[in-house]
Chain A
Amino acid sequence: MDLTFNESESSFRDELRAWIKANHPGEEPAGEDEGYAFRRDWQRQLYEAGWAAVHWPTEYGGRDATLVEAAIFNEELARARAPFPANVLGLLLAGPTLMIWGSDEQKQRYLDPIMSGDEIWCQGFSEPEAGSDLASLKSKAVRDGDDWLVTGQKVWTSGAQYSKWCMLVARTDFDAPKHKGLTYFILDMEQEGVEVRPLRQITGDPEFNELFLENARIPAENVVGGEGNGWTVALTTLMNERAGLAFGLQVGMKVALDELTEELAASGKLNDPLVADKLGELHIKCEILRLTAYRGLTATMKYGQPGPEGSLTKWMWSQGNQELMQFATEALGPQSLSDGSAWGRSLLRSRGNSIEGGTTEVLKNIIAERVLGLPRKK
């Protein structure tokens, strides 16, 4: 057991820290579009310095960083309060999925612009009638010569308004059992058959969208992982979603928690034993999240793929972060809920944490069935 960074991990961290310090883009501007443009420029900067996708193999333009170094990357970015790159779904989901399932041509074509942020990606999985039960999705793809034509509706598609490409799962065989009839496509968002309509979130921002597809055209070479194999490919995307983010999210929570601790100390409220107790509990949860994520990382390095244990850290984070925001606004008082307070906005945004990327209930199902081996509900 060694919970320190070895020499190469430390020097990776030091080099990165120094680079972030010299290149920090400053505070993200308010407003959805302004923030997006800012994060896109930031990603360009990361790309040009070779930091955009450290965990990717060098042949695809990454640094071939170890999982620990990738964790350090996310931690350092969050610690420096630097923004996530604009193409976060491309970097964390589309890229790794293509590396596993994509053809050589697809890797050639798509990976570099994912890294540079020249082409932004979104994730078109959820539908109005298919959320937790994703495999029941109904968007329909039919053959038209060498192409596929897709018709259907997607929803909650984050960042669709900025995206060039969409990871799209659609049904290509309506006679097959529901998990078998799906195919994973790369959809070009810039075409007639695709309409993006913004949806306002509870924060007031239109971070996600509805996606209306009407005979949207996809060339056959844009199938990923083979016709009828869409469910398996989608699971690769979902596993990466749950495993990869934990470190950055943990540090994000830690930064907020430290800020709260300082604010409460400054106002003398830490002397209230009930406040100190709850704050201690949150620090404990946050630290346990970090430690459990590192245990998971060691297991992944020893045994391969991220396992269903990734569901545990996603759950720990969403619960911890929601409790933190609720407690923060309660302890700081009503001014934290009023004009201009970041806490109020963070409280609202945190409400989505236990829904996005798989609801907590679904994560519990996964843990019960795949980790604990409990029987499935019929």
Chain B
Amino acid sequence: MNFDFTEDQHEIKRTARDLLTKRSGFEQIREAAEAEAYDESLFKELCELGWAGIAVDEQYGGAGLGVVELMILCEELGFSLAGSPFLANAIGGLMIEHAGSDEQRAQWLPGIATGEATATLALATDGVAAVVPDADGAAVIVLVEGDSAVLVARGDAEVEPLTTIDPSRRYARVTASGGDPLPGDVVGGLARAEVALSAEMVGVAQRSMEMAIEYAKERKQFDTPIGAFQAVSHRCAQMLFDTEGARSATYFGGWAADADESQLALAAAIAKAAASDSAHSVTNSSIQVHGGIGFTWEADVHWFFKRAQLDASMLRSASTCRALVTSITAASLASAGGA
């Protein structure tokens, strides 16, 4: 039992933090959001470092590491809010690698690993996915309906770019008919994607919390730093409670994806529910602690609030996940009782 990263994994986290602190400060986030365009050179740089293929098998040109390592990068990208198709590409890749046929893997994974031909993934109903991250620049789009999923080449889908409340990421509406079905375990692929998405939300929550705490130490009212008022400090304690809880759940999901498939379905549902709820509550609280300034376009807390909204809305919702947790638990109790 060792619930901590290995030294190598800590090193990945530190490297990512250092690089993203330099390359994606608030000025860059703002610039990208206002221009509605990414800093293309950043994604290129991440790809040159091999990040895009971190969890892709070596035979397809990836680094062959696990969901845990990918999760570490996603968390740091959420923390920095760097604009790039990284997450969309990674979750599309997880699905193709896990549920795809050999031909599908051979066709798509090398481009995903280098970032030269990216993927994305979304839930769809009757061939329509209302909000898909980074679909306009993707080479391949994975659409999941229930327990099955299809691959659609970008050229075969109708992709209409959208403006959402989150200008830090690009989204589009995707319509497609047919597509190339994935023959494997789509539910397992989706669970892995949800762990990666949850990790991004943990990073978003962590950064929002840190911003609130920093502000609460500096801002004075009634001749007192506001962080000395319990209504504020207890709110901050609650942010830690929520963020750490989501982190525990998400890391467990990453571990289950790599080491214990039998716990993954439950772990991923727990992670996605906890991370969505935490991202909502913590980014809300952070704005509240900032007061009026927090409501302005000029303050940077709102980027995190907005990303939290979109992230939480992607893949299965928190309430779907909670119902799933109940049904998985009830089923396992019933089978243990019957055995």
Contacts and interface: CB of A to CB of B under 8 A. Distances in A.
Interface stretch (A136-144, A279-287, A339-347): A279-287
B111 to A, nearest CB: 30
Instruction: With a 10 A CB-CB cut-off, give which of A273, A284, A302 has the most chain B CB atoms.
Output: A284
A312 B319 contact: no
A37 interface: no
A280 B224 CA distance: 42
Contacts of B4: 1, 295, 298-299, 302
Interface string A1-34: 1111110010000000000000000000000000
Given A276-B323, A287-B270, A312-B240, A376 B228 contact: yes
Contacts, number: 161
B274 A284 contact: yes
Given A6-B1, A374-B236, A277 B68 contact: no
Interface residues of A, number: 50
Interface string B224-248: 1101111001101110110011001
Contact of B248 (A258, A295, A315): A295
Nearest to A9: B1
A4 B260 contact: yes
Contact of A3 (B244, B252, B270): B252
A361 interface: yes
B73 to A, nearest CB: 15
Given A261-B329, A276-B327, A297-B3, A292 B248 contact: yes
A196 interface: no
A298 B2 contact: yes
B330 to A, nearest CB: 5
Given A280-B322, A298-B4, A368 B68 contact: no
Contact of A273 (B9, B224, B259, B323): B323
Chain A, interface SS category: helix
B245 A292 contact: yes
A1 B319 CA distance: 29
Contacts of A295: 3-4, 244, 248, 251
B234 A368 contact: yes
Nearest to B234: A364
B295 interface: no
A275 B69 CA distance: 36
B120 to A, nearest CB: 28
B326 interface: yes
Contacts of B230: 361, 364-365, 368, 377
Given A284-B274, A288-B249, A277 B1 contact: no
A76 to B, nearest CB: 14
A285 B245 CA distance: 8
A281 B260 CA distance: 23
Given A295-B248, A315-B241, A261 B1 contact: no
B3 to A, nearest CB: 4
A378 B255 CA distance: 44
Contact of A367 (B237, B273, B327): B237
Given A1-B2, A1-B6, A288-B249, A262 B333 contact: yes
A68 interface: yes
Contacts of A299: 4
A288 B274 contact: yes
Contacts of B334: 265
Contact of B233 (A265, A302, A365): A365
B1 A375 contact: no
A5 B5 CA distance: 16
A291 interface: yes
A1 B330 CA distance: 29
A49 interface: no
Given A294-B1, A367-B237, A368-B234, A288 B329 contact: no
Given A1-B4, A280-B326, A298-B3, A372 B249 contact: no
A262 B260 CA distance: 26
B141 interface: no
Instruction: With a 10 A CB-CB cut-off, give which of A281, A298, A361, A374 has the most chain B CB atoms.
Output: A374
A266 B230 CA distance: 45
B321 A368 contact: no
A238 interface: no
A304 interface: no
B329 A4 contact: no
Given A276-B322, A281-B322, A364-B234, A375 B245 contact: no
Contact of B3 (A3, A5, A312, A368): A3
B14 interface: no
B260 to A, nearest CB: 7
A2 B249 contact: no
A170 to B, nearest CB: 30
Given A258-B329, A369-B233, 16 more contacts: A1-B3, A2-B1, A4-B260, A277-B319, A284-B249, A297-B3, A298-B1, A298-B3, A299-B4, A364-B230, A364-B238, A368-B230, A368-B237, A372-B233, A375-B227, A377-B230
Interface of A: 1-6, 9, 68, 258, 261-262, 265, 270, 273, 276-277, 279-281, 283-285, 287-288, 291-292, 294-295, 297-299, 302, 312, 315-316, 361, 363-365, 367-369, 371-378
16 contacts: A1-B68, A276-B322, A277-B323, A280-B321, A283-B325, A288-B274, A291-B248, A295-B248, A297-B3, A364-B233, A371-B237, A371-B240, A372-B233, A374-B216, A377-B229, A377-B233
Lowest 8 CB-CB distances: which A-B pairs, in order? Answer: A280-B322, A368-B233, A291-B248, A374-B227, A280-B325, A364-B237, A280-B326, A367-B237
